[in-house]
Amino acid sequence: MTTDADLKNATSDTAWQDDVRAGVRHVRDLALLPLSPAERAAAQEAAVRHKVRAPKTYLDLIDWNDPADPIRAQVIPSPDELVETEGELDDPIADHAFSPVPRLTHRHADRVLLFPTYQCAVYCRFCFRKESLTSIGRGYTREALEEAYAYIEAHTEIREVILTGGDPLSLPDKALAEIRARVEAIAHVRLLRIHTRVPVVLPSRITPGLVGALQGRLMVTIVTHFNHAREITPETEMGCRTLRQAGFVLLNQSVLLKGVNDTVEALEELCRELMYRLGVKPYYLHHGDLARGMAHRRTTIAQGQALAAALRARLSGICNPVYVLDLPEGGGKVPLGPCHVEAQDGDNWRIRGLDGGVRVYRDVVGE
Ligand code: SF4
């Protein structure tokens, strides 16, 4: 059982480094895990295709007696990853095609993605950026971001800077403070958004030093990436509470993954625990991107729509994520439903209610 003293200790400024060191950092560390010889050989083969890494506390959540464990499915390489299916892509949402300068993607006028690092605290098997993480493999340097800062400065339409990657919160506090200071020095930027798996897989990294590095002029929104209720623990609860109490807005995006969270019960529990226990608003439920070697984890869109409709009926609005697809070729994130409009006839709209019954709503507007 985790005590308050354990939790306090876990947020000391260096405890997270022990957690990383005691986890899996290289293919050879798979030998430390309770896998059968056949499972280990298969995992080692698949890890050649996409790097392997997971902190110890995250690995400790795995029930090793269950080959279908939802945490295991997210981080332990599977031979299914070696099966590539026609239509899968290296760059599923066209980050590179919309990259005017290194380390930056500008797809929508008012916001940019900034990639301070291509390294992560965990390498998720389903990652849609895994080709960048594998082939580029670059870490943070101040110089690497100079062109990106100059680009943001020159484009006054940019309001939001989204740190993504790679995982920005895997960087040292000093680097994060530098990046935050450079971004907030650009007057037209209004919001700093951070997309991260760190609060999920390495909550000991949420330290006073990290919080201090991110506090400044800008509104900071941290978008976490929980995929299953089993990832919600006393440690993640404490990490999220620290971030909330520091004044950051917390949202979560999940990926719909076959065998991990593709049941209405799993998603319902995840969304409720996110909102009620962590104070993290479920924001997006992503349909699986066309990342290579991931056919075994993707559902069909029709399956996703059925799940989204069931969630809509069961969960309050604040607990409900929007089911979206990030379109190939940079088409952006679009909602996939559910759509409750059945038909329109002039001013009359036939709309299906949450109870399945159809009502007519008439547009009544002034001249
Ligand atoms: S932490 Fe994010 S960027 Fe890194 S492997 Fe996982 S999904 Fe990909």
34: CA distance to ligand 1 center in Å? 24
The two tokens of residue 57 are 């506390």
Model pLDDT for residues 55-98, shown as the tens digit of each residue: 999 999 999 999 999 999 999 999 999 999 999 999 998 999 99
Does residue 284 sit in the same domain as residue 356? no
Ligand 1: which of 81, 127, 169, 222 to mutate, most ligand atoms within 8 Å of CB?
A: 127
pLDDT at 264: 98
Instruction: Answer whether residue 357 shows pLDDT above 70.
Output: yes
Domain membership of residue 188 as a residue range: 4-335
Mark whether 218 and 89 lie in a shared domain.
yes
Per-residue model confidence (pLDDT) at position 13: 76
Q: Ligand 1 center to residue 55 CA distance, Å?
A: 13
Query: Which residue out of 120, 134, 135 has the highest number of ligand 1 atoms within 8 Å of its CB and is therefore the one to mutate?
Result: 120
CATH number for the domain including 122?
3.20.20.70
Amino acid identity of residue 303, one-letter, is Q
231 lines ligand 1 (CB under 6 A): no
Ligand 1 site, residue 51, Cβ cutoff 6 A = no
Q: Which atom of ligand 1 is nearest to the CA of 126?
A: 7
Q: Name 317's Cβ contacts closer than 8 Å, sequence gap at least 6.
A: none
Question: Which strands form 111-114's sheet, in the order they lie side by side?
Answer: 104-108, 111-114, 160-163, 191-195, 219-224, 249-255, 281-286, 322-327, 332-335
Give the pLDDT score at 139.
85
Judge if 273 and 367 occupy the same domain. no
Average of per-residue pLDDT values in the chain = 94
Through-space distance between the first and last CA atoms of the chain, rounded to whole angstroms: 66
State the burial class of residue 82 (Cβ atoms within 10 Å of its Cβ: 0-12, 13-18, 19+). Answer: middle
The radius of gyration of the chain from alpha carbons, rounded to an integer in Å, stands at 21
- Tell how far the Cα of 295 is from the centroid of ligand 1, in angstroms: 18
Which residue reads 């809509």 in tokens? 312
Q: Indicate which residue's Cα is closest to atom 7 of ligand 1.
A: 127
Nearest CA to 171 out of 134, 132, 135, 145 is that of 145
Structure tokens at 171: 């960087």
Same domain, 210 and 348: no
Distance CA(277)–CA(308), nearest Å, equals 22
Ligand 1 pocket: which of 93, 167, 196, 205 to mutate (most atoms within 8 A of CB): 167
- Ligand 1 near 125 CB (within 6 A): no
State the pLDDT confidence band at 138, using cuts at 50, 70 and 90: confident
User: Is residue 142's pLDDT more than 80?
Assistant: yes
Rounded CA gap, 162 and 192, in Å?
A: 6
3-state secondary structure 83-112: CCCCCCECCCCCCCCCCCCCCEEEEECCEE
Q: How many domains does the chain have?
A: 2
Q: What is the pLDDT of residues 310-351, one digit of tens each?
A: 999 999 999 999 999 999 999 999 999 889 999 999 999 999
SS (H, E, C) 67-83: CCCHHHHHHCCCHHHHC
Q: Are 244 and 363 in a shared domain? A: no
CA angle centred on 315, ends 313 and 316, rounded to 5°: 110
CB of 286 shorter than 6 A to ligand 1: no
* One domain, residues 257 and 312: yes
Predicted pLDDT at 14:
82
325, 301 contact by CB (below 8 A): yes
Interval 13-39 mean pLDDT: 92
Using 50, 70 and 90 to split pLDDT, how confident is the model at 367? confident
The pLDDT of residue 4 is above 70: no
Q: Is the CB of 124 under 6 A from ligand 1?
A: yes
Classified as helix, coil or strand, 62 is coil
Give the amino acid at 348.
N
Average pLDDT, integer, range 289-318: 96
Amino acid at 263: T
Residues 242 and 349 in one domain: no
Same domain, 327 and 235: yes
**Rounded Cα gap, residues 186 and 249, in angstroms:** 21
CB 165 less than 6 A from any atom of ligand 1: yes
Global pTM?
Answer: 0.94
Please state whether the peptide bond connecting residue 338 to the residue before it is cis, i.e. omega within 30 degrees of 0: yes
Query: 299 pLDDT exceeds 80?
Result: yes
Band the pLDDT of 3: cuts 50, 70, 90. Answer: low
For residues 362 and 322, membership in a common domain is answered with no
Same domain assignment for residues 281 and 357: no
From the CA of 84, how far away is ligand 1's center (Å)?
A: 20
Regarding the beta carbon of 19 and ligand 1, being less than 6 Å apart is answered no
Same-domain pairing of 234 and 353? no
**Among 149, 229, 162, CA closest to 191:** 162
Q: Are residues 299 and 359 in the same domain?
A: no
Q: Over the stretch 90-132, which tens digit does the pLDDT of each residue have?
A: 999 899 999 999 999 999 999 999 999 999 999 999 999 988 8
Is 249 within 8 Å of 220 (Cβ atoms)? yes
129 lines ligand 1 (CB under 6 A): yes
Query: What's the confidence (pLDDT) of residue 196?
Result: 98
Condensed to tens digits (0 to 9), the pLDDT of residues 174-191 reads 999 999 999 999 999 999
